[in-house]
Structure 1
Amino acid sequence: MVNRNNTTSTTDAPRYNWDEEEKNNVLGYFFWGYVLTQIPGGRLSEIFGTKIIIGIGIMTASLFTILTPTASYMNYYCLLFVRFALGIALGVQWPSMPPMATKWVPPTGMSKFLSHLTASSLGVAVTLPMCGYLIDYWGWPSVFYVTGTIALTWTICWFYLIYDSPEQHPRISENEKLKLRHEIKRDVPSAKKKSTPWKKILTSGPVWAIVMANTCASFTFFIAFMQLPTYMSHVLHFSIKANGWLSSLPYFVRYCTSVISSCVADFIKKSERLSTTAIRKTFCSILFFGTFILFAIQAFWGYNSIVSVAVFTSSLGLMGLATPGIYANSVDIAPAYSGTVYGISQVPAALAGYALTKIVAVITKDEQSFQQWTYAELFGPKRIIGGGLLTANLLTILTPVASYSNYYCLLVARAILGVVMGIHWPSTPLIATRWIAPTDTSKFLSHMAAASLGVVITLPICGYMIDSYGWPSVFYVTEYFTCKRILSCIVILTFMIHHMLRLNISIAIVEMTIHNNSNASVKGPRYHWNEEEKNEILGSFFWGYFVMQIPGGRLSEIFGPRIVLGTGLLIAALLTILTPVTCKWGFYWVVLARFALGLSLGVQWPSIPPLAAKWVSSTDTSKFMAHMMASALGAALTLPMCGHLIAQFGWPSVFYVTGTITLLCTIAWFYLAYDSPEQHPRISDKEREALKAEVNYNQIEKNNKSPPWGKMFTSGPVWALIVGNSFSSFTVFIVLFQMPSYISQVLHMDIMVNGWLSGLPHIVRYTFAVIWSYLADKEVKKGRFSRTTIRKACNTIAFLGAASFFTIQAIWGYSWIVSVIVFTGSFALLSFTTPGILANCVDIAPAYSGTLLALSHVPACVFGYFSTKIVGFFTKDEQNFQQWSYIFWIVVGVYLFASIFFIVFGSGEVQSWHPKIVKDAEMNQLRNEQDQPLTPPN
């Protein structure tokens, strides 16, 4: 944002001629607003509740953050005002947490709960590198737009999930409510009607001890928080990306030490080996003396990058001890006024932050050198010693946005940021007073240390973005998310949803049915379905799925994938939500619902190849088609999620939750996905022209005729595609639908462990599908091997590798360790079918790619159905390893046959019966027609 004489960086974003004093004014004005709402934030949280105070503060802060670049465009003073207002909004946050802790956390857990306040360090650790990348790619304004949007989204979560006390929570169970009452054992008098005993508070020695400790700790913390990136850049001469990562590291360490030290403090308190007073004093002493020694080292040898990184990381690690030493103390000495006490301590702490910016400005006004920073560092540890909290993530993001107008606008913006953040932290203790038992307060407040995690993520991301696209990219994040990339994201999401809807019943059915040897209590009705009936329910899906494969592919070629796939998702969502109702009606209603679900989801896979033909170049086909393997990622997330839902709320919740998620995804699909770049209303002209130049399949001659069915069905490559997809799907469906039952009834794992183990192979499958697809496309671009060779090599590795794994499973699969390794390893190798099979339908006939994939899915669906019948046949009488070993040997044989067949008949070249490719001379004439859908024959 600021012009430097010695800089060589290029950027399209505006830069301002601010000297060191003006820059530090922008940073410092935040603290004036932050100071104003510290005491009011704590008191208001005690009166009106933490939920509303923090929620309004975060929402206001997010809006000011988004407006920061605009303020900087206007002028310097507008930016100062925005920063001031931000300080007001955030000033309520810290003082609000102790009052909440008194309601939610027992005294022996107070340190752990309050350690969550240092999650601000985690936010800093994520924010700094993220902002570095954002600035690098899209410029400094993107930092404010991205972080403001994140804050707005989080505000919605806050208002929905957070309540001031267990009694006010509408979704808390009676068991948890009674447990919290028993653990807390704290009768906090109401502070709403009585006036605050200000005189006694302000003349209390323990209160002033908290004030002094928090102020001194905050002073040095703000040095690292607000000035460390500048020190890294100007004194140690790190690049923006390296600066982001190194600046974020101390915050991540701080959060970890905060949580660990809080757990230790609460453990000591529960064991009653030391008094509460002794515990608080011990941790504060370690914090201050340790930080003093480290900064003394920095003052002498801080010109060395290794020393600086070690000192800042270790010192912020010690600052994590402030949670059990300082933050939990306000709840110890005055639980009813914990927010007020903490707010009082935050006032001089915020002033110390502003004073810091002025001190650094005075010392480094003429030059940023190690000699000047030596004075600042010596002043910090000698007079203050310690680290503080605050949300550096927001501070880092807001600073560049306000600079667009002028220096004073940025100063104002920084002041507003301080105001907004001033209400954030003070509100947290109030939540703890009402929600957390005294023995768990520290654990609860330790979540605030997640701010460090935010820094860890943010700094490297921003550094990378700045390095590649310039600093404005950090704020103009939409420039990076092109319509093509957004389409890829929404395709990934829809395929995650696809397997979520297919799999939810696979794990739910374990608890839906009555087992003779089970005595577990289940939330929800249970049904007398035998193994054959269970597999009939699972298998009925495939009949509907089978019916819609070819129609789904052809309809997508005619009417477009957007409407076909979107309609299917909408119907599937409604059917999923109605599944528990059909169970009450009877067995055949469930079968019918699953059949209809198969119909609605059957159009999804065949709809993607026609979409790829209009959006993706031939050399990137494998990567795009790899997004279809996000279905495996959906499976990996769905199984453990369903396990937890069943354990907590009963099996019907699985269908309500997954159906609701699908409805939301459907809305996103219709808004974001379009059949071609020409139809997209929000695509830029630059991206549209780039896609026209890249996607050669738009040069296909317009084809109004029906597909050449006779030539298709006599084509060896088509049958290689069909056999490969069908036989690979056979095993995938066995693992997909039967693995939860195998883990439960053969390996005897409980439902939650079942979910995680069942989900692991699928997340591995998606991860490796993306990796293998990337490598395959890279080889296609290099041209060292033909497409045919690449497709055959990928499928051979997939089939023979999986056959080897299942041979091991058939022999030693009674061990859960062997089973997990086999299922995970085989799925990692089966992901080679993404560049081997899924991309192959676009290779041999791009104009009919949807139809081809549908043709290969028809027998795949039949195999999926018969997989349930085969499992039902072998395990009808008893679920044991001996019966399952027969199934595993069948899988081995299937893979060996599929490997040989594809090697003999497979191809990666466009077939002779495919419509001709138009030459470049005819391209302009056909561009007006390229987005017209294929129409049925007259």
Structure 2
Amino acid sequence: MESFVITEGAGTCNYLIQRDRINEVRSTRTSWRFWEKRRLVVALLAFFGFFNVYALRVNLSVAVVAMTEPVEVELENGTIVYVPEFDWSSTTKGWVLSSFFYGYLVTQLPGGWLAAKIGGNRMFGIGIGATSLLTLFTPPLAHTSTSLLIAVRVVEGLFEGVTYPCIHAVWSRWAPSEERARLATFAFSGSYVGTVVSMPICSMLAHYTGWPGIFYVFGIVGLVWTTVWWLVVKESPEKDPHITAAELKYIQESRGSIAVDGSQIRHPWLAMLSSGPVWAIVMAHFSENWGFYTLLTFLPTFMQDVFKFQTSATGWLSAVPYLAMAVVLQVAGHMADWMLQMQLLSRTNIRKLFNCGAFLAQTIFMVAAAYATSIVGCVICLTIAVGLGGFAWSGFSVNHLDIAPPHASVLMGLSNTIATLPGIISPPLAGSIVTDKTAEQWRIVFFISSAIYLLGAVVYGVFCSAEKQPWVVEVDSDASFDTDGASVTTARGYDNKAMDHSSEM
């Protein structure tokens, strides 16, 4: 690394300006080398982290179809009968599928608080790693008793509940303000890619290896990811020994002052809980999750009940809407950041446009899906409805970072706590409605989701804000993290003198 000795005065300013321009050009020319930009490495690994989060979550949604399908059994007298391995009622199935969310609900706020204190990267890795390990024990516990199956799913939910709040603690340190939407939505899109990939793979595993193979394969994949994340991702750019001086300076200047020592952060609980913009985020998050969790949990069963699809087909068809969501998320995140950079609308209006526009469209297409008479028409309507949710995520999901960056992990914990309630309420509710497995009963389930989308659009449109709130408590960064261009000292304790001219943002 080549260094320069800089004297004070006008020459220093001119040099810094020229150096930054050179770095900007070089960064653009080498943008395909994402591994040289540590924030992109963090985003990529976070993407695969959320991939595992949802693969571990939806595996039971597909497995339960195979677990309750009639299979050939030969009795002692030689008679062949067809009976399900697990003879669960619709209500029992609903409780089994919703059990995960009881644990998931409990650790949202504690996870956000711990992430702010000890580091979002650590909590994110622990959450996914522990869930992966417990997934390996799911088949033997299920064979032992239904109660043990429910218990292990509750504990899995406890560990996975920290993941969404934790990632906002990571982005509060790693994401430049003008890249929040694209980095956050790219990471979140891993959830939907995980759903797209895991559903058909779960179907194939159930067909070729039996349903226990679903849990063994995804449990091992999750443990491999945990090892890589733990070794590579640091709490903040200041603690990453591989980050370039130019990227570190860019992140620090863009995100503003923030404490590297999380123990210094104090959360203004009363002000947060009485804030209109906070509750706008909460309502939007709740609304999006209601429709999403309903389909995530019951779409394979819906395909089987209404259109008589078998297990191998439900996994593939159920994955289509989430493929649309994964694609739209990428487009929406870049579009939101582009509109902000071009100053086409204010940050607040961009959030409202993306969120409320998506919810209104989802309301319409969920109703259309309810009246679809063919599998093709139904899948098209559900694909559009779920896919448009990607625009909503460019609204409410990054809004925490807009209004209160130092408290974003706790706010995400709050909103995701309320937004987890649909995962608890929706499956038993749908199970109690769909007792005869008719299209008319499933239609009621879709109507409820549409009404909640519409309510979310109204509340978010009225109360949303994307401006930093007056109750935000900022803590000055450690003075050793100097960003004046002459010296940038990282948390590892070494200096990058005079901003190496070959460094790239």
Q: 1:694 deviation in Å?
A: 3.4
Residue 398 of structure 2 corresponds to which residue in structure 1?
Answer: 839
Q: 1:929 deviation in Å?
A: 10
Distance, in Å, in 1 between the alignment partners of 2:278 and 2:218 is 35
Residue 451 of structure 2 corresponds to which residue in structure 1?
Answer: 893
Query: What letter matches 1:543 in structure 2?
Result: Y
1:581 matched to 2:136: no
Q: 1:747 deviation in Å?
A: 1.2
Query: What letter matches 1:503 in structure 2?
Result: V
1:763 matched to 2:318: no
Q: 1:862 deviation in Å?
A: 1.1
Distance, in Å, in 2 between the alignment partners of 1:908 and 1:702 is 24
Q: 1:725 aligns with which of 269, 285, 292?
A: 285
Superimposed CA distance per residue, residues 301-349 of structure 1 (whole angstroms, 9 cap, x where no aligned partner): xxxxxxxxxxxxxxxxxxxxxxxxxxxxxxxxxxxxxxxxxxxxxxxxx
Paired residues for 1:711-860 under 5 Å: 711-812=271-372, 814-860=373-419
Cα distance change on mapping 1:522 and 1:554 into 2, 3 Å: farther
Q: 1:892 deviation in Å?
A: 1.3
Gaps of 5+ in 2: 1-25, 75-79, 493-505
Query: What letter matches 2:89 in structure 1?
Result: N
Paired residues for 1:309-348 under 5 Å: none
Residue 213 of structure 2 corresponds to which residue in structure 1?
Answer: 653
Cα distance change on mapping 1:800 and 1:755 into 2, 3 Å: same
Residue 91 of structure 2 corresponds to which residue in structure 1?
Answer: 532
Superimposed CA distance per residue, residues 511-552 of structure 1 (whole angstroms, 9 cap, x where no aligned partner): 112459999x99998111111111111111111000010011
Distance, in Å, in 2 between the alignment partners of 1:531 and 1:884 is 13
Q: 1:693 deviation in Å?
A: 3.4
Query: What letter matches 1:784 in structure 2?
Result: L
Residue 564 of structure 1 corresponds to which residue in structure 2?
Answer: 123
Distance, in Å, in 1 between the alignment partners of 2:369 and 2:81 is 32
Paired residues for 1:242-281 under 5 Å: none
Residue 441 of structure 2 corresponds to which residue in structure 1?
Answer: 883
Cα distance change on mapping 1:561 and 1:491 into 2, 3 Å: same
Distance, in Å, in 2 between the alignment partners of 1:700 and 1:679 is 9
Query: What letter matches 1:751 in structure 2?
Result: T
Q: 1:633 deviation in Å?
A: 0.7
Distance, in Å, in 2 between the alignment partners of 1:492 and 1:526 is 36
Query: What letter matches 2:279 in structure 1?
Result: W
Q: 1:548 aligns with which of 102, 107, 110?
A: 107
Q: Given that residues 72 and 83 in structure 2 are in contact (C-alpha distance below 8 angstroms), is that contact kept between their aligned partners in structure 1?
A: no
Distance, in Å, in 2 between the alignment partners of 1:751 and 1:488 is 34
Residue 252 of structure 2 corresponds to which residue in structure 1?
Answer: 692
1:615 matched to 2:157: no
Distance, in Å, in 1 between the alignment partners of 2:72 and 2:464 is 49
Residue 40 of structure 2 corresponds to which residue in structure 1?
Answer: 485
Cα distance change on mapping 1:741 and 1:891 into 2, 3 Å: same
Superimposed CA distance per residue, residues 824-872 of structure 1 (whole angstroms, 9 cap, x where no aligned partner): 1011211112210111010011001011111111111112110101111
Paired residues for 1:470-481 under 5 Å: 480-481=35-36
> Alignment RMSD, CA only?
3.0
SS at match of 1:839: helix
Distance, in Å, in 2 between the alignment partners of 1:773 and 1:523 is 49
SS at match of 2:127: helix
Query: What letter matches 1:486 in structure 2?
Result: V
Q: 1:706 aligns with which of 266, 286, 289?
A: 266
Paired residues for 1:174-189 under 5 Å: none
Q: Given that residues 561 and 608 in structure 1 are in contact (C-alpha distance below 8 angstroms), is that contact kept between their aligned partners in structure 2?
A: yes
Superimposed CA distance per residue, residues 77-114 of structure 1 (whole angstroms, 9 cap, x where no aligned partner): xxxxxxxxxxxxxxxxxxxxxxxxxxxxxxxxxxxxxx
Query: What letter matches 1:905 in structure 2?
Result: F
Q: Given that residues 550 and 855 in structure 1 are in contact (C-alpha distance below 8 angstroms), is that contact kept between their aligned partners in structure 2?
A: yes
Cα distance change on mapping 1:644 and 1:656 into 2, 3 Å: same
Query: What letter matches 1:579 in structure 2?
Result: T
Distance, in Å, in 2 between the alignment partners of 1:489 and 1:788 is 27
Query: What letter matches 1:561 in structure 2?
Result: G
Cα distance change on mapping 1:801 and 1:700 into 2, 3 Å: farther
Cα distance change on mapping 1:911 and 1:523 into 2, 3 Å: farther
Q: 1:822 deviation in Å?
A: 1.2
Cα distance change on mapping 1:798 and 1:581 into 2, 3 Å: same
Cα distance change on mapping 1:687 and 1:512 into 2, 3 Å: same
Runs of 4 or more above 2 Å deviation: 477-482, 514-519, 521-525, 681-706, 916-919, 921-931
Residue 638 of structure 1 corresponds to which residue in structure 2?
Answer: 198
Q: 1:925 deviation in Å?
A: 9.5
Distance, in Å, in 2 between the alignment partners of 1:771 and 1:522 is 51
Q: How high is the TM-score relative to the length of structure 2?
A: 0.85
Q: 1:685 deviation in Å?
A: 3.4
Q: Given that residues 492 and 630 in structure 1 are in contact (C-alpha distance below 8 angstroms), is that contact kept between their aligned partners in structure 2?
A: yes
Q: Given that residues 272 and 278 in structure 2 are in contact (C-alpha distance below 8 angstroms), is that contact kept between their aligned partners in structure 1?
A: yes
Superimposed CA distance per residue, residues 379-412 of structure 1 (whole angstroms, 9 cap, x where no aligned partner): xxxxxxxxxxxxxxxxxxxxxxxxxxxxxxxxxx
Query: What letter matches 1:811 in structure 2?
Result: Y
Distance, in Å, in 2 between the alignment partners of 1:524 and 1:490 is 43
Q: 1:513 aligns with which of 64, 68, 71?
A: 68
Distance, in Å, in 2 between the alignment partners of 1:594 and 1:917 is 39
Residue 504 of structure 1 corresponds to which residue in structure 2?
Answer: 59
Distance, in Å, in 1 between the alignment partners of 2:127 and 2:262 is 27
Q: 1:592 aligns with which of 148, 151, 156?
A: 151
Q: Given that residues 68 and 86 in structure 2 are in contact (C-alpha distance below 8 angstroms), is that contact kept between their aligned partners in structure 1?
A: yes
Q: Given that residues 125 and 230 in structure 2 are in contact (C-alpha distance below 8 angstroms), is that contact kept between their aligned partners in structure 1?
A: yes
> What is the aligned-residue identity percentage?
28
Cα distance change on mapping 1:525 and 1:753 into 2, 3 Å: closer
Superimposed CA distance per residue, residues 870-893 of structure 1 (whole angstroms, 9 cap, x where no aligned partner): 111101x31110100111111111
Q: Given that residues 34 and 40 in structure 2 are in contact (C-alpha distance below 8 angstroms), is that contact kept between their aligned partners in structure 1?
A: no
Query: What letter matches 1:795 in structure 2?
Result: N
Q: Given that residues 321 and 386 in structure 2 are in contact (C-alpha distance below 8 angstroms), is that contact kept between their aligned partners in structure 1?
A: yes
Gaps of 5+ in 1: 1-464, 932-938
Distance, in Å, in 2 between the alignment partners of 1:701 and 1:541 is 33
Q: 1:492 deviation in Å?
A: 0.4
Distance, in Å, in 1 between the alignment partners of 2:123 and 2:390 is 27
Q: 1:706 deviation in Å?
A: 3.3
Superimposed CA distance per residue, residues 23-60 of structure 1 (whole angstroms, 9 cap, x where no aligned partner): xxxxxxxxxxxxxxxxxxxxxxxxxxxxxxxxxxxxxx
Paired residues for 1:216-295 under 5 Å: none
Higher-Rg structure is 1
Query: What letter matches 1:803 in structure 2?
Result: T
Cα distance change on mapping 1:750 and 1:514 into 2, 3 Å: closer
Residue 906 of structure 1 corresponds to which residue in structure 2?
Answer: 464
Residue 498 of structure 2 corresponds to which residue in structure 1?
Answer: none
Cα distance change on mapping 1:916 and 1:652 into 2, 3 Å: closer
Distance, in Å, in 2 between the alignment partners of 1:750 and 1:585 is 26
Q: 1:810 deviation in Å?
A: 2.1
Q: 1:748 deviation in Å?
A: 1.0
Distance, in Å, in 1 between the alignment partners of 2:379 and 2:72 is 25
Distance, in Å, in 1 between the alignment partners of 2:367 and 2:119 is 43
1:495 matched to 2:50: yes
Query: What letter matches 1:628 in structure 2?
Result: F
SS at match of 1:746: helix
Q: Given that residues 523 and 646 in structure 1 are in contact (C-alpha distance below 8 angstroms), is that contact kept between their aligned partners in structure 2?
A: no
Distance, in Å, in 2 between the alignment partners of 1:905 and 1:701 is 32
Residue 434 of structure 1 corresponds to which residue in structure 2?
Answer: none
Distance, in Å, in 2 between the alignment partners of 1:589 and 1:514 is 21
Distance, in Å, in 2 between the alignment partners of 1:766 and 1:625 is 13
Cα distance change on mapping 1:658 and 1:524 into 2, 3 Å: farther
